[in-house]
Amino acid sequence: MESNLPHLDAEAAGAGRAMREWRPWRASPAVVLLAAILLVLIVPPTLFLINASIHTTKVDGSFDQLTLRYYGGLFTNPHFAGSLLNTLVYAFGSSIIALALGVVQALIVERTNTPGRGYVFLGAVISLGIPHVLYVVAWLLLLGRSGPVNAAIDVVLGAGRDGPALDVHSMWGMILIEGFGFAPLAFLLMSAVLRSADASMEEAAIMSGAGLLKTFRAITLRLSAPGLAAVLLLFFIRAVESFEVPALVGLAGNVTVLTTSIFQSERSVSPPSQGEAAAYSVCLLLIVALLLWWYGRLARHAHRYQTITGKGYRARLVDLGRARYFTALLLLLIFALAIVLPVAMLAFTSLQPFYEGPSADSLARLTLDNYRTVLEPGSFRDAVANTLVLGAATATLVVPLTAICAWLAARRWRGAWLLDQLATAPLVFPALVMSVAFLNVFVNLPLPLYGTLLSIVIASVVRHLPYGMRYAYAGVLQIHAELEEAAVAAGAGPSRVFVRVVLPLIAAALVSCWLFVFLLTVQSVALPLLLAGPGTELVAVTLFDLWQNGQVTELAAMGVLWLAFATAAGACFHVITRRYRVLLEGQ
């Protein structure tokens, strides 16, 4: 770690003094350097985005005339008001569902002695391995007109209605699928928040006679408020920017949100223009900046919530007695709904020659042909190695970078708010627009980066900065500055404080962050689509070939294989982090 940060060592004396006086407004070279790194990463694609939003595009893709019509078009679009309302309902609804599921699971796992709780972490991480598009397809198979849910309703209520009893292509369908899809991430983020929180106040409350639910409500959740708000913010922005669920679920039911409305408008010209999507992203960028600024003001009093102090911080588990079987059942139920059901649907579909809904006939048709197609010899010859390198490199770069940025931002070093803003900005770039932006950056660069794996790594790092940032921020927020002050008083410089004090305390969050970024990176398709070329084939992009040309049954087979891969990766990690935690607690 220290070798990554020679500047910190070099400046240790000066910055150390700044820390000792606790006057974070003094300019810090560390902040300047990190800001410079982030700027180099983020400014080129952002400039392209802004340019794309204010220029018409010529047929060869170059910029033509200056125009504001894309911004005008956003607001004069006849579908704007309806789409905006839908977007708000959808984003709010889905983030609430995801967060509620995540919080319930995190509380049970981190605070109670419910049996089997350790596997929730594993399940959540593994489920992140399913590409989002496939997850959505699984839900559509499940809830669709010919799916088992509607079939069951028809059996109970009798068939003969005009349409399906449950029409999943609707607002509730979108909210439900997006909400469930992000529940595992919500759980991981919230458990990072709770794990590093001191439970002594909870114990005090329980000893004073407060019930368990009351304690969770009045103490645990309130203390986690900044972390909770940060996660909610992240999900809200994610949902506003999301495309898969609105396109796959919403469009077919004529429910449009802003992203799908833009998609429909930009496809009305040929070749497709990036202008409206870019203008939309720029507006989102401003809104996110505003939200972050507002959040920063809220978190100004974050020290009130700091619960990791000089005292031991490991939360003690509440003994639930008999009720622990009930909570175990609850965990099982959530697991079944969010993961087992859609995955089972995928597995079933993958064994069919064609998909016609589960029936007695379909059981007689089981076949492995789809796996044969997906695993055709040579399919992933070079792609596997490239993919693993890409995922590992991206995660290894993102995690330390965001950990330092998050610490500086949380400690309110002068200018460090900018780090937070910069690292969060890529969240609002639609992956497709970002892909075009990076393509244009790399192909024009006087360095031979274009078409290399390194160029894809750089783009992936930018894409996943926001996730790393939120993970680390949640961890850092809860560490009381007194621990660091003590280290400073003992003569440690900022780099030493960071490595010896902060890092061990947020290590657990960072380890799961690494895995999370790794899994997100290896499954992302839209971003590397244009950056990959001959020689830099990636598994996800190769599979996208199937997505474009293949049948739904083959897609399902591919989803099951992905899941097997993610399970293997997750299990390895589980073992490693377990050992690591033992080490940590032993210290």
Chain residues binding another protein by CB under 8 A are 58-62, 79, 141, 144-146, 163, 244, 247-248, 251-252, 254, 260, 263-264, 267-272, 353-357, 365, 373, 376, 378-379, 436, 439-440, 443-444, 446-448, 450-451, 529-530, 532-535, 542, 545, 547-553
Judged by beta carbon, residue 251 or residue 486, the one nearer another protein is 251
Give me the least distance between CB of 360 and another protein, in Å please. Answer: 15
From the number of C-beta atoms within 10 Å of its C-beta (0-12, 13-18, 19+), residue 543 rates as buried
CA gap 345, 159 in Å, rounded: 22
Of the pair 144, 475, the CB lying nearest another protein is at: 144
Minimum CB–partner distance for residue 526 and another protein (Å): 10
For residues 370 and 553, the answer to whether their CB atoms sit within 8 Å is yes
Select 80 or 305, whichever has its Cβ closest to another protein.
80
Nearest to another protein of 3, 62 (CB atom): 62
Per DSSP bridges, beta strands 55-57 and 63-66 are antiparallel
DSSP classification of residue 427: G
Min dist. Cβ of residue 429 to another protein (A): 16
Of the two residues 16 and 246, which places its CB atom closer to another protein in the complex?
246
Cβ proximity to another protein, 132 vs 324, nearer residue: 132
Q: Are 42 and 438 in contact (CB under 8 A)?
A: no
- In the complex, least distance from residue 371 CB atom to another protein, rounded to whole angstroms: 14
Q: C-beta of 383: minimal distance to another protein in Å?
A: 10
In the complex, what is the shortest distance from the CB of residue 563 to another protein, in angstroms, rounded to a whole number? 20
Supply the Cα-derived Rg of the chain in whole angstroms: 25
- Alpha-helical runs (H) found in 411-527: 416-424, 431-444, 453-477, 481-489, 494-497, 503-523
Q: Which of 246, 266, 247, 281 is nearest to 433 (CA)?
A: 281
Smallest gap from residue 222 Cβ to another protein (A): 41
- Min. distance of Cβ 156 from another protein in angstroms? 19
Q: Considering beta carbons, is residue 46 or 402 the nearer one to another protein?
A: 46
DSSP assigned state of 299: G
DSSP per-residue codes, 193-228:
HHHTS--HHHHHHHHTT--HHHHIIIIIHHHTHHHH
Instruction: Quote the least distance from Cβ 266 to another protein, whole Å.
Output: 9
Instruction: Decide whether 223 or 383 has the Cβ nearer to another protein.
Output: 383
Contacts of 383 (CB under 8 A, 6+ apart): 537, 538, 539, 541, 542
CA distance 279 to 199: 46
Of 56 and 379, nearer to another protein (C-beta) is: 379
Of the pair 6, 448, the CB lying nearest another protein is at 448
- Specify whether the CB–CB gap between 411 and 481 falls below 8 A: yes
Provide, rounded to whole angstroms, the least separation between the CB of residue 83 and another protein. Answer: 12
How far is residue 244 from each of residues 240, 251, 257, 263, 453, measured CA to CA in Å?
11, 10, 11, 12, 26
C-alpha distance from residue 500 to each of 18, 406, 512 (Å)? 19, 16, 20
Please, which residues have CB within 8 angstroms of residue 275's CB and are 6 or more apart in sequence?
Answer: 52, 53, 55, 56, 57, 67, 69, 70, 73, 266
